[in-house]
């Protein structure tokens, strides 16, 4: 299957996500950038360009995730997968406190670490949006 994603499929993915990043929950309407269609399981890992394998992602989350599938959190022997918006419930793995995305599980910790959810610039932006009731 081709890795090209049709305009119609992109629109379906964005609408399913309510135009919010499925990883950090930032709404595209308050972003300075256009959002991306992310392959949850990347093409290099034999992921397909099908609705079930696609997520709506802000540029930061998509860039930091890259083609990775997980990372080492608790030790150097056991890979912990990232949050998968198709099979995981966001609130099972994360909670938001004043713009800060707090991990609740090892999957949440792996995702927050590699996606750099709480880097200073991202956190400041979310705190400002939160104060204006624009986040999450």
Number of domains, the chain: 1
C-alpha dist (Å) from residue 98 to 30, 104, 130, 132, 136: 17, 16, 7, 11, 10
Asked, for residue 40, whether it belongs to a domain, the answer is yes
Asked, for residue 2, whether it belongs to a domain, the answer is no
Asked, for residue 1, whether it belongs to a domain, the answer is no
pLDDT per position as a tens digit, 25-74 = 999 999 999 999 999 999 999 999 999 999 999 999 999 999 999 999 98
Could you tell me the residue range of the domain that residue 121 belongs to? Answer: 7-131
* Secondary structure tally for the chain: helices H, strands E: 5, 6
pLDDT per position as a tens digit, 120-130 = 999 999 999 99
Q: Are 1 and 49 in contact (CB under 8 A)?
A: yes
Asked, for residue 136, whether it belongs to a domain, the answer is no
Asked, for residue 113, whether it belongs to a domain, the answer is yes
When pLDDT is cut at 50, 70 and 90, the band that residue 3 belongs to is: low
Asked, for residue 112, whether it belongs to a domain, the answer is yes
Please check the confidence at residue 23 and state whether its pLDDT lies above 50.
yes
- What is the value of pTM for the model shown? 0.95
């Amino acid at each position: 299957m081709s890795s090209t994603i049709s305009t119609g499929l992109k629109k379906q993915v964005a609408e399913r996500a309510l135009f919010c990043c499925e990883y950090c929950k930032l709404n595209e309407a308050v972003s300075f950038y256009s959002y991306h269609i992310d392959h949850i399981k990347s093409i290099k890992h034999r992921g397909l360009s099908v609705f079930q394998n696609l997520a709506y992602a802000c540029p930061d989350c998509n860039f930091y995730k890259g083609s990775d599938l997980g990372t080492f959190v608790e030790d150097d022997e056991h890979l912990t997968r990232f949050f998968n918006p198709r099979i995981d419930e966001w609130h099972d793995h994360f909670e938001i406190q004043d713009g800060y995305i707090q991990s609740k599980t090892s999957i949440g910790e792996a995702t927050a670490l590699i996606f750099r959810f709480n880097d200073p610039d991202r956190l400041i932006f979310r705190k400002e949006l939160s104060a204006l009731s624009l986040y999450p």
